[in-house]
Amino acid sequence: MSSAHTTRFCLIRHGETDWNGEKRIQGHIDIDLNAAGEAQARAVGQGLAGHSFAAAYSSDLLRAWRTARIATADRGLAVSPAPTFRERHFGVLQGVTSQEARVQYPDVFRHHHARTPDYDYENGESLIVFAARVTAGLEALAVRHRGQSVLIFTHGGVLDVVHRAATGQALDAPRDFTLPNAAFNWVEHGTNGWRLISWADCGHLNRALDEVLE
């Protein structure tokens, strides 16, 4: 249980989509779950048995929203749409695979691979702007639900920001942690800021693809 001054978050990346399997950059493009993703969402629901949450939120993009609705269908827990926790907007790279991006947009992909903090993909979001959006949204929920536990369905890029906030890792540092579909990721926010509790728990899953685009 969270203390009176601490908010605990369970953040879950959406279930698998066909574009995840193709390593195709989704960003704000609205892609639905595939059959494996739907099965993962059901497994999330089973894995949440025994946990209690004061509130649940989800990115309004279909892949996260459907994961949330399937996972909470038997829990009597209302899910509120939260556009703040949408995936990052990847600008001109949205809709292409990593390999296609290397060929079609070599300069853009170079910034993408380097995690250049202030680069916005020509018409998307810079990492700095994206991280500010995510952390501001989480901190607002930490105040609103102080002393409670909160469930959030979101995306790999959002989880990347959360892990770095909880561990103090720089935004442009190479990622050395995994972001599997439908895994459980627990962090808390209290008087001393963010703290990582546990990460990438896939014990309830048979299959989970890592987020390979960050």
**How far, in Å, CA of 111 to CA of 99, rounded?**
15
CA–CA distance from 65 to each of 40, 85, 128, 154, 202 (Å)?
A: 13, 11, 25, 8, 20
For this structure, is 14 an active site residue? yes
One-letter amino acid for residue 183 of the chain: A
> Which contiguous run of DSSP H or E holds residue 18?
helix 18-22
For this structure, is 214 an active site residue? no
Query: CA 161 from chain center: how many Å?
Result: 8
Catalytic annotation, pick one of 14, 89, 145, 204: 14
> Which contiguous run of DSSP H or E holds residue 132?
helix 127-144
Catalytic annotation, pick one of 16, 87, 188, 211: 87
Q: For residue 86, what is the DSSP state?
A: P
Q: Are 18 and 34 in contact (CB under 8 A)?
A: yes
Give catalytic residue positions: 14, 87
